[in-house]
Amino acid sequence: MSEKTISWEFAPAPEDSRLAMIAKRYEHFIGGRWTPPSEGKYFQTRNPATARKLSEVAAGSAADIAKAVEAARLAFRGPWGNMPARERGKFLFRIARLMQERSRELAVTETLDGGKPIRESRDIDIPLAANHFFYYAGWADKLDYAFPNRRPRPLGVAGQIIPWNFPLLMAAWKIAPALACGNTVVLKPAETTPLTALKLAEILAEAGLPAGVVNIVTGAGATGAALVEHDDVDKVAFTGSTAVGKVIQKTLAGTGKKCTLELGGKAANIVLEDACIDQAVEGIVNGIYLNQGHVCCAGSRLFVQEPVYEEVLWKLKRRLDTLVVGDPLDKNTDIGAINSREQLTSIRHYLKVGLEEGAAIYQPDCQLPSRGYFCPPTLFTEVAQSFTIAREEIFGPVLAVQTFRTLSEVIEKANNTPYGLSAGVWCDKGARLFQVTDALDAGVVWGNSYNNFDPTSPFGGCKESGFGREGGLHGLAAYLDI
Euclidean distance between CA atoms 125 and 130, whole angstroms: 9
- Taking CB under 5 A as the criterion, the residue among 160, 184, 192, 402 binding Mg ion is 192
Is position 121 an interface residue for Mg ion (rule: CB under 5 A)? Answer: no
Catalytic residue among 181, 259, 296, 427: 296
Query: Which residue intervals of 152-206 are DSSP H helices?
Result: 167-180, 195-206
Of residues 262, 393, 464, 470, which has the active-site annotation? 262
Q: Give me the least distance between CB of 392 and ligand NAI, in Å please.
A: 8
Residues 64-103 that bind ligand NAI (CB under 6 A): none
Which range, of 23-31, 114-122, 156-164, 440-448, touches ligand NAI by CB under 6 A? 156-164
* 100 sits in which H/E element: helix 85-101
Size of the site for ligand NAI (CB under 6 A): 27
225 part of the interface to ligand NAI, by CB under 6 A: yes
Q: Alpha-carbon distance 201 to 195, whole Å?
A: 10
| Residue 186 binding result from ligand NAI, Mg ion, none, given CB thresholds of 5 to 8 Å by partner type | none
What would the DSSP string read from start to end of 14-83?
A: BPPGGGG---SEE-EEETTEEE--TT--EEEEEETTTTEEEEEEE---HHHHHHHHHHHHHHHHTHHHHS
Q: How far is the CB of 333 from Mg ion (least distance, A)?
A: 17
Closest approach of ligand NAI to the CB of residue 386, in Å: 20
**DSSP character at residue 9:** P
Of 63-71, 184-192, 315-323, 441-449: span binding ligand NAI (CB under 6 A)? 184-192
- Quick one: which segment of 100-108, 188-196, 308-316, 436-444 binds Mg ion (CB under 5 A)? 188-196
| 177, 478 contact by CB (below 8 A) | yes
Strand partners, 400: 301, 380
Q: Which stretch binds Mg ion (CB under 5 A): 44-52, 103-111, 138-146, 276-284?
A: 44-52
> Which one of 10-18, 237-245, 323-331, 404-412 is the stretch in contact with ligand NAI (CB under 6 A)?
237-245
Single residue of 17, 100, 103, 241 touching ligand NAI by CB under 6 A? 241
Work out whether 165 is an interface residue with ligand NAI (CB under 6 A).
Answer: yes
Comparing CA positions, the residue from 476, 457, 478, 456 lying closest to residue 466 is 478
Question: What are the φ/ψ torsions at residue 423 (nearest 5 degrees)?
Answer: -165, 165
Overall residue count recorded for the chain in this entry:
482
CB of 65 to Mg ion, least distance (A): 22
Given the complex with Mg ion, which of 35 and 45 has the nearer CB atom?
45
Under the binding rule (CB under 6 A), the answer on residue 461 touching ligand NAI is no
Q: Which of residues 358-397 bind ligand NAI (CB under 6 A)?
A: 393, 395
- Catalytic residue flag (residue 3): no
3-state helix, strand, coil in the chain (%, to 5): 45, 20, 40
Q: According to the binding rule CB under 6 A, does residue 449 interact with ligand NAI?
A: no
CA torsion through residues 468, 474, 475, 481, sign: negative
Is 216 one of the binding residues for ligand NAI (CB under 6 A)?
no
Q: In what order do the strands lie in the sheet with 214-216?
A: 33-35, 28-30, 214-216, 184-188, 157-161, 235-239, 258-262, 466-467
Can you state the angle between helices 242-252 and 221-229, rounded to 10 degrees?
A: 30
Q: Is 264 in the site for ligand NAI (CB under 6 A)?
A: yes
Closest CA to 226 of 194, 253, 251: 251
Respond yes or no: is residue 296 known to be catalytic: yes
Which residues 94-113 are close enough to bind Mg ion by CB under 5 A? 113
Binding residues for ligand NAI (CB under 6 A): 161-165, 188, 190-191, 220-221, 224-225, 228, 239-241, 244, 247-248, 262-264, 296, 343, 346, 393, 395
Residues designated catalytic:
262, 296
Binding residues for Mg ion (CB under 5 A): 45-46, 113, 192
